[in-house]
Amino acid sequence: MERSCVEKEIGGLPVVTGADWPGVRYFCTTRAGGVGAAPHDTLNLGLRADDKPEAVAENRRRVRAAVPGEPLYLRQVHGADVVDADAPAQPVEPPADASVTIRPGRVLAIMVADCLPVVVSDERGSVLGVAHAGWRGLAGGVLENTLRVMQAKQPSARGWRAWVGPGIGPTAFEVGEDVLQAFASDGPEALALFTPRPGVAGKWLADLPALARLRLRRAGVAQPALSGLCTVGDAGRFFSYRRDRVTGRMALLAWLEAS
Protein backbone atom coordinates (compact mmCIF):
# COMPACT_ATOMS: atom_id res chain seq x y z
CA MET A 1 0.00 0.00 0.00
CA GLU A 2 1.51 3.32 -1.08
CA ARG A 3 1.14 6.06 1.51
CA SER A 4 2.29 9.61 0.96
CA CYS A 5 2.07 12.43 3.46
CA VAL A 6 4.37 15.41 3.90
CA GLU A 7 3.82 18.27 6.36
CA LYS A 8 4.81 21.70 5.08
CA GLU A 9 4.21 25.39 5.59
CA ILE A 10 3.06 27.25 2.48
CA GLY A 11 2.40 30.97 2.62
CA GLY A 12 2.44 30.80 6.39
CA LEU A 13 -0.20 28.04 6.47
CA PRO A 14 0.49 24.57 7.94
CA VAL A 15 -0.58 22.10 5.23
CA VAL A 16 -0.22 18.45 4.24
CA THR A 17 0.61 17.15 0.79
CA GLY A 18 1.90 14.10 -1.02
CA ALA A 19 4.87 13.33 -3.24
CA ASP A 20 6.17 15.91 -5.70
CA TRP A 21 4.71 15.58 -9.20
CA PRO A 22 6.21 17.14 -12.35
CA GLY A 23 4.37 20.31 -13.27
CA VAL A 24 1.83 20.09 -10.42
CA ARG A 25 1.46 21.72 -7.02
CA TYR A 26 -1.12 20.58 -4.50
CA PHE A 27 -1.80 20.64 -0.78
CA CYS A 28 -4.59 20.30 1.78
CA THR A 29 -5.07 22.93 4.45
CA THR A 30 -5.45 22.01 8.12
CA ARG A 31 -7.49 23.78 10.78
CA ALA A 32 -4.47 25.93 11.75
CA GLY A 33 -3.39 29.30 10.43
CA GLY A 34 -6.68 31.22 10.45
CA VAL A 35 -8.69 33.65 12.56
CA GLY A 36 -11.81 31.67 13.47
CA ALA A 37 -13.05 30.94 16.98
CA ALA A 38 -14.25 27.57 18.30
CA PRO A 39 -15.78 25.41 16.95
CA HIS A 40 -14.41 26.85 13.69
CA ASP A 41 -10.89 27.40 15.00
CA THR A 42 -9.13 28.55 13.05
CA LEU A 43 -8.85 28.21 9.23
CA ASN A 44 -12.42 27.40 8.27
CA LEU A 45 -12.89 27.99 4.53
CA GLY A 46 -16.53 26.94 4.24
CA LEU A 47 -19.12 29.64 3.57
CA ARG A 48 -22.00 27.45 4.77
CA ALA A 49 -20.46 26.10 8.00
CA ASP A 50 -22.25 28.52 10.37
CA ASP A 51 -19.09 30.57 10.87
CA LYS A 52 -18.77 34.37 10.91
CA PRO A 53 -18.60 35.58 7.28
CA GLU A 54 -15.79 38.00 8.05
CA ALA A 55 -13.66 35.20 9.50
CA VAL A 56 -14.21 33.01 6.42
CA ALA A 57 -13.38 35.94 4.15
CA GLU A 58 -10.09 36.55 5.95
CA ASN A 59 -9.25 32.84 5.89
CA ARG A 60 -9.93 32.66 2.15
CA ARG A 61 -7.77 35.77 1.67
CA ARG A 62 -4.90 33.98 3.41
CA VAL A 63 -5.31 30.93 1.20
CA ARG A 64 -5.50 33.13 -1.90
CA ALA A 65 -2.17 34.70 -0.93
CA ALA A 66 -0.55 31.24 -0.87
CA VAL A 67 -1.59 30.20 -4.40
CA PRO A 68 -1.05 31.75 -7.86
CA GLY A 69 -4.69 32.58 -8.66
CA GLU A 70 -8.21 32.79 -7.31
CA PRO A 71 -9.33 29.25 -6.37
CA LEU A 72 -12.39 27.83 -8.09
CA TYR A 73 -14.48 26.74 -5.12
CA LEU A 74 -17.47 24.50 -5.85
CA ARG A 75 -20.92 24.22 -4.31
CA GLN A 76 -20.50 20.54 -3.55
CA VAL A 77 -23.64 18.40 -3.67
CA HIS A 78 -22.30 14.86 -3.06
CA GLY A 79 -22.79 14.02 -6.72
CA ALA A 80 -20.60 13.06 -9.66
CA ASP A 81 -20.72 16.11 -11.95
CA VAL A 82 -17.44 17.61 -13.20
CA VAL A 83 -16.81 21.27 -14.07
CA ASP A 84 -14.46 22.33 -16.85
CA ALA A 85 -12.58 25.09 -15.02
CA ASP A 86 -11.28 26.45 -18.33
CA ALA A 87 -14.76 27.22 -19.70
CA PRO A 88 -15.55 30.93 -20.13
CA ALA A 89 -17.95 32.78 -17.82
CA GLN A 90 -17.63 30.30 -14.98
CA PRO A 91 -20.31 30.90 -12.29
CA VAL A 92 -19.33 31.55 -8.69
CA GLU A 93 -19.14 28.19 -6.88
CA PRO A 94 -20.72 26.03 -9.61
CA PRO A 95 -22.77 23.07 -8.27
CA ALA A 96 -20.48 20.08 -8.83
CA ASP A 97 -18.08 17.79 -6.98
CA ALA A 98 -15.05 17.87 -9.28
CA SER A 99 -13.23 20.20 -11.64
CA VAL A 100 -10.48 19.87 -14.25
CA THR A 101 -8.03 22.18 -16.03
CA ILE A 102 -5.19 22.22 -18.54
CA ARG A 103 -4.38 25.89 -17.86
CA PRO A 104 -1.26 26.65 -15.79
CA GLY A 105 -2.06 28.73 -12.73
CA ARG A 106 -5.76 27.84 -12.71
CA VAL A 107 -6.29 26.91 -9.05
CA LEU A 108 -8.81 24.16 -8.32
CA ALA A 109 -10.32 23.70 -4.85
CA ILE A 110 -12.24 20.99 -3.00
CA MET A 111 -13.76 21.51 0.45
CA VAL A 112 -13.74 18.64 2.98
CA ALA A 113 -14.33 17.71 6.62
CA ASP A 114 -14.36 13.86 6.44
CA CYS A 115 -15.08 13.21 2.74
CA LEU A 116 -11.99 12.51 0.67
CA PRO A 117 -10.18 15.20 -1.31
CA VAL A 118 -8.63 13.60 -4.40
CA VAL A 119 -6.18 15.13 -6.87
CA VAL A 120 -5.35 13.47 -10.21
CA SER A 121 -2.82 14.30 -12.92
CA ASP A 122 -0.80 12.70 -15.70
CA GLU A 123 2.93 11.99 -15.62
CA ARG A 124 3.80 15.19 -17.55
CA GLY A 125 1.59 17.51 -15.53
CA SER A 126 -0.40 18.53 -18.59
CA VAL A 127 -3.90 18.05 -17.15
CA LEU A 128 -5.23 18.25 -13.60
CA GLY A 129 -8.39 17.23 -11.80
CA VAL A 130 -9.69 17.40 -8.23
CA ALA A 131 -12.69 15.64 -6.74
CA HIS A 132 -14.79 15.58 -3.57
CA ALA A 133 -15.36 11.90 -2.81
CA GLY A 134 -17.81 11.08 -0.05
CA TRP A 135 -19.43 7.67 -0.25
CA ARG A 136 -22.30 8.87 -2.43
CA GLY A 137 -20.07 10.59 -4.95
CA LEU A 138 -17.60 7.73 -4.92
CA ALA A 139 -20.31 5.14 -5.58
CA GLY A 140 -21.83 7.46 -8.19
CA GLY A 141 -18.63 7.61 -10.22
CA VAL A 142 -17.17 11.03 -9.45
CA LEU A 143 -13.59 9.76 -9.81
CA GLU A 144 -14.27 7.95 -13.06
CA ASN A 145 -16.08 11.00 -14.43
CA THR A 146 -13.15 13.23 -13.49
CA LEU A 147 -10.69 11.01 -15.33
CA ARG A 148 -13.01 10.80 -18.33
CA VAL A 149 -13.18 14.59 -18.64
CA MET A 150 -9.41 14.85 -18.18
CA GLN A 151 -8.81 12.31 -20.95
CA ALA A 152 -11.15 14.19 -23.26
CA LYS A 153 -9.37 17.49 -22.59
CA GLN A 154 -5.89 15.99 -23.05
CA PRO A 155 -6.11 12.82 -25.21
CA SER A 156 -2.33 12.37 -25.27
CA ALA A 157 -2.04 12.22 -21.46
CA ARG A 158 -0.51 9.05 -20.01
CA GLY A 159 0.79 7.74 -16.70
CA TRP A 160 -2.06 8.70 -14.39
CA ARG A 161 -1.34 9.41 -10.73
CA ALA A 162 -3.57 10.33 -7.79
CA TRP A 163 -3.32 11.40 -4.17
CA VAL A 164 -6.15 10.81 -1.70
CA GLY A 165 -5.87 13.38 1.05
CA PRO A 166 -7.07 13.44 4.69
CA GLY A 167 -10.52 12.00 5.27
CA ILE A 168 -12.48 9.72 7.54
CA GLY A 169 -10.40 6.62 8.29
CA PRO A 170 -11.30 2.91 8.25
CA THR A 171 -11.73 2.67 12.03
CA ALA A 172 -14.09 5.68 12.22
CA PHE A 173 -16.50 5.29 9.31
CA GLU A 174 -19.46 3.29 10.65
CA VAL A 175 -22.07 2.68 7.96
CA GLY A 176 -25.32 0.84 7.41
CA GLU A 177 -26.77 -1.44 4.77
CA ASP A 178 -27.35 1.45 2.34
CA VAL A 179 -23.64 2.19 2.01
CA LEU A 180 -22.74 -1.48 1.72
CA GLN A 181 -25.27 -1.95 -1.07
CA ALA A 182 -24.03 1.15 -2.89
CA PHE A 183 -20.73 -0.65 -3.48
CA ALA A 184 -22.11 -4.19 -3.95
CA SER A 185 -21.79 -3.94 -7.74
CA ASP A 186 -18.05 -3.33 -7.33
CA GLY A 187 -17.69 -6.99 -6.37
CA PRO A 188 -15.92 -8.98 -3.66
CA GLU A 189 -12.82 -6.76 -3.66
CA ALA A 190 -14.92 -3.79 -2.58
CA LEU A 191 -17.10 -5.71 -0.13
CA ALA A 192 -13.94 -6.98 1.58
CA LEU A 193 -13.34 -3.36 2.63
CA PHE A 194 -16.42 -3.48 4.89
CA THR A 195 -15.83 -5.00 8.34
CA PRO A 196 -18.92 -6.07 10.36
CA ARG A 197 -19.19 -4.41 13.76
CA PRO A 198 -19.07 -7.17 16.40
CA GLY A 199 -22.34 -7.32 18.29
CA VAL A 200 -23.93 -4.50 16.25
CA ALA A 201 -26.35 -5.88 13.68
CA GLY A 202 -26.53 -4.08 10.35
CA LYS A 203 -23.42 -1.96 10.91
CA TRP A 204 -20.01 -2.08 9.26
CA LEU A 205 -16.75 -0.14 9.35
CA ALA A 206 -16.01 0.97 5.78
CA ASP A 207 -12.54 1.79 4.47
CA LEU A 208 -13.40 4.80 2.31
CA PRO A 209 -9.81 5.63 1.26
CA ALA A 210 -9.28 2.03 0.12
CA LEU A 211 -12.56 2.12 -1.81
CA ALA A 212 -11.32 5.27 -3.56
CA ARG A 213 -8.01 3.59 -4.33
CA LEU A 214 -9.84 0.58 -5.81
CA ARG A 215 -11.97 2.82 -8.01
CA LEU A 216 -8.95 4.81 -9.15
CA ARG A 217 -7.02 1.67 -10.06
CA ARG A 218 -9.91 0.33 -12.08
CA ALA A 219 -10.16 3.68 -13.87
CA GLY A 220 -6.52 3.50 -14.95
CA VAL A 221 -4.44 5.01 -12.13
CA ALA A 222 -1.68 2.46 -11.53
CA GLN A 223 -0.64 3.37 -7.97
CA PRO A 224 -2.93 5.83 -6.18
CA ALA A 225 -1.30 7.17 -3.02
CA LEU A 226 -3.19 7.57 0.26
CA SER A 227 -2.29 10.18 2.86
CA GLY A 228 -3.19 7.74 5.66
CA LEU A 229 -4.56 10.66 7.70
CA CYS A 230 -7.91 10.35 9.51
CA THR A 231 -9.84 13.57 10.05
CA VAL A 232 -12.00 12.08 12.82
CA GLY A 233 -9.09 10.85 14.91
CA ASP A 234 -6.93 13.98 14.70
CA ALA A 235 -9.01 16.74 16.31
CA GLY A 236 -5.98 18.96 16.80
CA ARG A 237 -5.22 19.13 13.09
CA PHE A 238 -8.43 18.54 11.13
CA PHE A 239 -12.07 19.55 11.09
CA SER A 240 -14.49 16.58 11.18
CA TYR A 241 -18.22 16.81 10.62
CA ARG A 242 -18.88 13.31 11.91
CA ARG A 243 -16.95 13.99 15.11
CA ASP A 244 -18.18 17.52 15.85
CA ARG A 245 -21.20 18.26 13.61
CA VAL A 246 -20.73 22.03 13.89
CA THR A 247 -17.24 22.54 12.50
CA GLY A 248 -15.18 24.13 9.74
CA ARG A 249 -13.93 22.92 6.36
CA MET A 250 -10.43 22.35 5.00
CA ALA A 251 -9.62 22.71 1.32
CA LEU A 252 -7.50 20.83 -1.17
CA LEU A 253 -5.84 23.33 -3.53
CA ALA A 254 -4.11 22.25 -6.75
CA TRP A 255 -2.75 23.88 -9.89
CA LEU A 256 -0.51 23.25 -12.90
CA GLU A 257 2.80 25.09 -13.07
CA ALA A 258 3.91 26.93 -16.18
CA SER A 259 6.44 24.89 -18.17
Q: Is 195 among the domain residues?
A: no
- Judged against a pLDDT cut of 80, whether residue 3 lies above it is answered with no
What are the pLDDT digits (tens) for 189-198? 999 999 999 8
- Judged against a pLDDT cut of 90, whether residue 37 lies above it is answered with yes
Other Cβ atoms closer than 10 A to 54: 10
pLDDT (0 to 100) of residue 198: 87
Count of H-run helices and E-run strands, the chain: 7, 14
- Pairing assessment for the beta strands 174-175 and 250-256 based on DSSP bridges: unpaired
Q: Is 121 among the domain residues?
A: yes
Q: Is 240 among the domain residues?
A: yes
Q: Which helix (H) or strand (E) holds 81?
A: none
What are the pLDDT digits (tens) for 194-246? 999 988 999 999 999 999 999 999 999 998 999 999 999 999 999 999 999 99
Distances from the Cα of 190 to the Cα of 79, 85, 173, angstroms: 20, 32, 15
Q: Is 87 among the domain residues?
A: yes
Structural domain that includes position 74 = 6-168+221-256
pLDDT (0 to 100) of residue 1: 46
- Judged against a pLDDT cut of 80, whether residue 181 lies above it is answered with yes
DSSP 95: B
Which CATH number do you get for residue 83? Answer: 3.60.140.10
Q: Is 212 among the domain residues?
A: no
What are the pLDDT digits (tens) for 41-82? 999 999 999 999 999 999 999 999 999 999 999 999 999 999
Q: Is 210 among the domain residues?
A: no
